[in-house]
Structure 1
Amino acid sequence: MKTHGSNRLLTGRDMALAAAIAAAMCVTFWLFSSGAELRVTFIPGALVSLGIIGHLYVRRTPLPLPQRVLPVYMIALAWQGVHFAEEHAAGFWRDFPVLYGGQAASTNLFTWFNMTAYAVFSLATVASLVGHVRPLVMPSMFFVVYGCLANAISHVTWSVMEGGYFPGLYTGLMYLVIGPVLLRRVWPNSTWRHLAAVVATFLVTMVPLEVILAAR
């Protein structure tokens, strides 16, 4: 009979399925990107997310309890709606793809893409933490790692590159607070050194790519 703790432990099969989900996400991001915009942001985010899940698997660390994660996760997801509103109103759908040599997205496509992603993140989090469908921790972790933490880093990077405001900056800055707290919640037994290592990984991989591959 499985204990509650064993229900939260990742198995080899779980890890393989999480890796397959990550691979599918990366392929989708590569194909969906009209320029390099999703390739320099979402793909590093997916790989770092999978790396954290791999750490949980190797260290035999159970997934966190729902009551530890869901309150902060819901705050992050609610704020994501506000962040989306700023991006939509300020023209992120236009400026972000163009910055990386792509074509401006339509507002309809931008809305559908984001709302669908938020639905996937929400359902995956409930399924993985409450329903014990453990491989679905991959899209859930991606929201935490890129949607929150790395998203804030990216918005700061783009604003520095542009020498001023880049759409989404103001609400994105809030994730400099929410992101670290939420990452600590979904990563049991993590320390601030673990968080610093994740931030450093993005600073030496994603940020250089965002700067080098920009079209202007």
Structure 2
Amino acid sequence: MDLTIGRGRTLDRRDVAAAAGLCAVMCGVFWVFGSGDSLRVTFVPGAVVTFALIVVLHRTATPLPAPGRALPVYAVALGWQLLHFAEEFQTGFWHRFPALYGGAPYEPATFVWFNMASYVLFGAATAVAVGRGRGAVLMPSLFFVVYGTLGNAITHLVWAVMVGGYFPGLVTACGYLVIGPVLLRRMWPGATWWHVAAVTSVLALVLVPLLVAVAR
């Protein structure tokens, strides 16, 4: 793979339109198929913040990330996500999480398949968007960065406070306090730590009130 592919190419209006369409589809799936309000207060806000970031990247003519800089860290983050999933599955996240938001437990097999399929989608989208410079599929790639890493850290810490102790997935989610900011900078050429802090703050301001207010 040419590690310079994507460098200098910016998102055009068609890329933003594709991101808007993918965001709408993702939000629709999360809204309809989530158990109770579980995905409505987590994945839907994460998708909206991700799309807002894509709009910012477009309006500021930010180039797509260079594969040699972004892909290795993305691969580490996906690998860490497998460990995070293992902790969640072993400690009962599939029934504790929806119960907080008025939902029935997810079927274990469905929970496994949904997560594994999502990781394949994130990896494939990133290979195309970053590796081949195709901004039209950047939405699912960045969704993992915004919600899969930063959002995971925020939500698990909030849930631990809410229940007054350990909540399934907490230990490995804390790893994203380091991985998430580093990955966001690698995926956002020219970003400073202030940019990373701004995105994290916006995400927290959106997520935290919802996580607390909607909990049963």
Secondary structure of residue in 2 paired with 1:19: helix
What TM-score do you get using the length of structure 1 for normalisation? 0.95
CA change 1:5–1:199 in 2 (3 A) is closer
Q: Percent identity?
A: 54
Whole-angstrom distance in 2 between the partners of 1:5 and 1:161: 43
Q: Does 1:106 align with 2:122?
A: no
Measure the CA separation in 1 of the matches of 2:189 and 2:8.
15
Shift of 1:74: 0.6
| Residue correspondence of structure 1 range 83-122 to structure 2 within 5 A | 83-122=84-123
* Superposed structure 1 runs of 4+ greater than 2 Å apart: 3-8
Maintained 8 Å contact 1:7/1:132: no
Give runs of aligned pairs for residues 122-161 of structure 1, distance below 5 A. 122-161=123-162
Aligned pairs for 1:40-55 within 5 A: 40-55=41-56
Whole-angstrom CA distance in 2 between matches of 1:32 and 1:166: 23
The amino acid that maps onto 2:125 is A
For residues 60 and 77 of structure 2, the distance between their equivalents in structure 1, rounded to whole angstroms, comes to 27
TM-score (norm 2): 0.95
- Does the 8 A contact of 2:100 with 2:215 survive in 1? yes
Ranges in structure 2 where 5+ consecutive residues have no aligned partner: none
User: How does 1:173-184 map onto structure 2 within 5 Å?
Assistant: 173-184=174-185
Partner of 1:76: 77
Correspondence 1:195 to 2:159 = no
Q: Is the 8 A contact 1:21 1:138 kept in 2?
A: yes
Q: CA deviation at 1:108?
A: 0.2
Amino acid at match of 2:138: V
Q: Aligned equivalents of 1:75 and 1:87: distance in 2?
A: 18
The Cα RMSD (Å) is: 1.4
* Paired amino acid for 1:199: T
**Structure 1: any 5+ residue segments left out of the alignment?**
none
